[in-house]
Amino acid sequence: MTRQREDQPPDVAYYVSVGRGEDFVLTVKADWKITFGAVNPGAPPHGRDLHCLRVWEGEKLRAVFCDVRGFRDLSLPLARKVSRETGATTWTRDDMGNFEQSQKRQIEESYVREEADPFGRIDD
């Protein structure tokens, strides 16, 4: 890893979610611009809503990633809601052959903070 000079802007890492293929992390300079929009903004939709992530260094287009579903800055904290349901059902039968159901359910909900690296890698 190269040491960053003080006059250079810091790097920003983005998690990029794509429709097909593997999601990835994109790291760019903080003063670069990221835009997200339709592949061809003026064209009518053609069955699929295809979007691109564009990376700009000033006026210079540095990269275009197509079929992007969404992206986020990894420095933003994110928590996901997790629900867990447990329960039991009991069926009883009377002398006439009729069945009766009794049921207990419990739902537990919590928020789990997502780690900075969505791929689960550990920084050395």
- The model's pLDDT over 56-113, given as tens digits with 9 standing for 90+, comes to 999 999 999 988 999 999 888 888 888 888 988 888 888 888 888 888 988 888 878 8
Q: How confident is the model at residue 34 (pLDDT cuts 50, 70, 90)?
A: very high
Task: Report the residue count for the chain.
Answer: 124
- Domain positions in the chain are 11-73, 79-113
User: In sequence order, what are the beta bridge partners of 6?
Assistant: none
Question: Is the pTM value of this prediction over 0.95?
Answer: no
CB-count burial class (<10 Å; 0-12, 13-18, 19+) for 68? buried
Q: At 104, which amino acid appears?
A: K
Kindly list the strands in the beta sheet with 33-38, ordered across the sheet, starting from the edge strand earlier in the chain.
33-38, 51-57, 60-66
Q: Is the pLDDT assigned to residue 122 strictly greater than 50? A: no
Angle at 11 between CA 2 and CA 120, to 5 degrees: 90
